[in-house]
Amino acid sequence: VRTSGRFCDITYAWLTWNKPFMVVYFEDLVQNTERELRRVLRFLRIQVSERRLRCTLKHKDGKVKRKHSTLKSDPYNSTFVDIIEKTLRCTERLLPGLMHRYSRH
């Protein structure tokens, strides 16, 4: 899939931009949302507002002010899944060589 190459190029450009970066894994964000949010805020040097953090955690499922709706079809068709998987593999190959710049906040 040609698009996955473009995503890989974009990922490479971001990772080699010569600026500190932080890796946040979706699975970690889901498993321990508060810890990961605090880690991101620390990396960005943003002071934690406990009130806002509590509100974010309370509504982390994204159901704030949204009407309930169901999708009529699966948005992740096989082509899209292929793009995602190829981009993830590309990113995993790029990261080890750049881990010296990775933030462990």
How does pLDDT run across 7-26, given as a tens digit for each residue?
788 878 887 787 788 888 88
Q: What are phi and psi of 56, to 5 degrees?
A: -60, -45
Do 4 and 86 form a contact (C-beta atoms < 8 A)?
A: yes
Which helix H or strand E contains 22, and what residues bound it? Answer: strand 21-22
pLDDT digit string (tens) for 37-93?
Answer: 999 999 999 999 999 999 999 988 766 555 667 777 787 888 888 888 888 888 888
Residue 40 to residue 46: CA distance in whole angstroms:
9
Neighbours of 6 (CB within 10 A): 12
* Contacts with 16 (C-beta within 8 Å, 6 or more apart), sequence order: 98
